[in-house]
């Protein structure tokens, strides 16, 4: 039993270190942005914590056919006399908007590392229209 536990703990470490070798052949999925959301009768508000980004360069928000997609990418490099470091990372998330979302009036603000997207909602649309059936004469 002790040997099984040790081997089970060792395998993820062995293969975890090898996954970087195969990154080109087996790309990892882009991590999802975590949203906090709130909906009322007037608006749908999404908030995401995205510290250290330049919203003009690093954040892209697209609304198309009832889906809101947010992409964020961080590129950071520091160079000293004898050392350099870099960090790159991309995040993405797509959410379905409510059926009565006004996609033309969506607004986004970025303040103190928090991205807030406000989607105005219009009056609820009718669920459908009843179609009358007529009798065809033969």
Question: Which pLDDT belongs to residue 21?
Answer: 45
Q: Does domain 29-120 have CATH number 3.30.420.40?
A: no
Q: What is the pLDDT of residue 20?
A: 47
Q: Are 64 and 75 in contact (CB under 8 A)?
A: no
Joined tokens for residue 18: 């090898």
The pLDDT of residue 29: 67
Which pLDDT value is given to residue 85? 79
DSSP string, 36-82: EEEE-SSEEEEEEE-TT--HHHHEEEEEETTEEEEEEEEEEEEE-SS
What is the value of pTM for the model shown?
A: 0.64
Q: Average pLDDT per run of 10 along the chain, which is 138 residues long?
A: 52 51 52 90 94 90 95 83 80 92 95 95 80 87
SS (H, E, C) 16-32: HHHCCCCCCCCCCCCCE
């Amino acid at each position: 039993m002790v040997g099984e536990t040790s081997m089970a703990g060792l395998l993820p470490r062995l293969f975890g270190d090898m996954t970087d070798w195969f990154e080109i052949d087996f790309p990892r999925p882009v991590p999802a942005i975590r949203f906090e959301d709130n909906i009322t009768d007037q608006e749908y508000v999404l908030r995401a914590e995205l510290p250290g980004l330049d919203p003009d360069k690093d954040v892209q928000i697209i609304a198309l056919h009832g889906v809101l997609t947010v992409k964020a990418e961080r590129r950071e490099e520091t160079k000293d006399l004898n050392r350099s470091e870099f960090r790159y990372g991309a995040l993405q998330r797509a959410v379905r908007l409510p059926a009565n979302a006004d996609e033309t009036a969506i607004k986004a603000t970025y303040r103190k590392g928090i991205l807030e997207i406000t989607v105005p909602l219009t009056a609820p649309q009718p669920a459908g229209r009843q179609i009358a059936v007529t009798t065809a004469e033969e």
